Amino acid sequence: VQMPLAEGGMSTAWVLGVVAIHNWQLALFDERAQQDVWGEDTSVLISSSYMPVGKVTRVDGG
């Protein structure tokens, strides 16, 4: 689906890829996690963060 979509609009295909990857990734989790998200409503949309953007500074005392 994504390649033919990209022929008409690359940015649209990119957004589809970003959105679709999260559902694929959740499908790799065990069935309990899948039920928590999709159990009662299969139209649920999910997202996640892959890029660490925070910074940590070590301080005395933790």
What is the domain extent for residue 23? 2-38
Q: Is residue 48 part of a domain?
A: no
For the stretch 18-51, pLDDT in tens is 888 888 889 999 999 999 999 999 888 887 777 7
C-alpha span between 24 and 38 (Å, rounded): 13
Q: Is residue 33 part of a domain?
A: yes
- C-alpha dihedral, 53 to 24 to 41 to 34, nearest 10°: -90
pTM over 0.75: no
C-alpha span between 1 and 4 (Å, rounded): 6
Domains identified in the chain, total number: 1
Q: Is residue 28 part of a domain?
A: yes
pLDDT at 52 over 80: no
pLDDT of residue 40: 93
Q: Is residue 34 part of a domain?
A: yes
Helix (H, G, I), strand (E, B) or coil at 17: helix
Place 10 in a pLDDT band, splitting at 50, 70 and 90.
Answer: very high
C-alpha span between 12 and 24 (Å, rounded): 18
pLDDT of residue 21: 86
